Amino acid sequence: MDRAPGTFTTEPDPTGTTLSLRFDYSTKVPFMDRVVDRVLWHADRDLDTMLTTMKRAIES
């Protein structure tokens, strides 16, 4: 990947805390985004791990 900036933000809300994530990437290789999505992002298992880690960090 040529560039992969990411931004996390947290905001209090009436039910707890809202966590927002923005992540972009770009590459000069055609169709590389599809490969990256398949290899690096597994939402079914990664999202729960990410949210648990973020929750611990926010609450500590």
d(CA 34, CA 38): 6
The pLDDT tens digits for 4-59 are 567 778 888 898 888 887 777 677 788 877 787 777 767 777 778 888 887 888 78
Tell the residue number behind the tokens 């039910």, with chain if given: 15
Give domain limits for the chain.
Answer: 6-59
Q: Write down the pLDDT at residue 5.
A: 60
Residue 51: half-sphere exposure toward Cβ, Cα within 13 Å: 10
d(CA 55, CA 24): 22
Q: With contact defined as beta carbons under 8 Å apart, do 14 and 6 qualify?
A: no
Is the whole model's pTM more than 0.95, yes or no? Answer: no
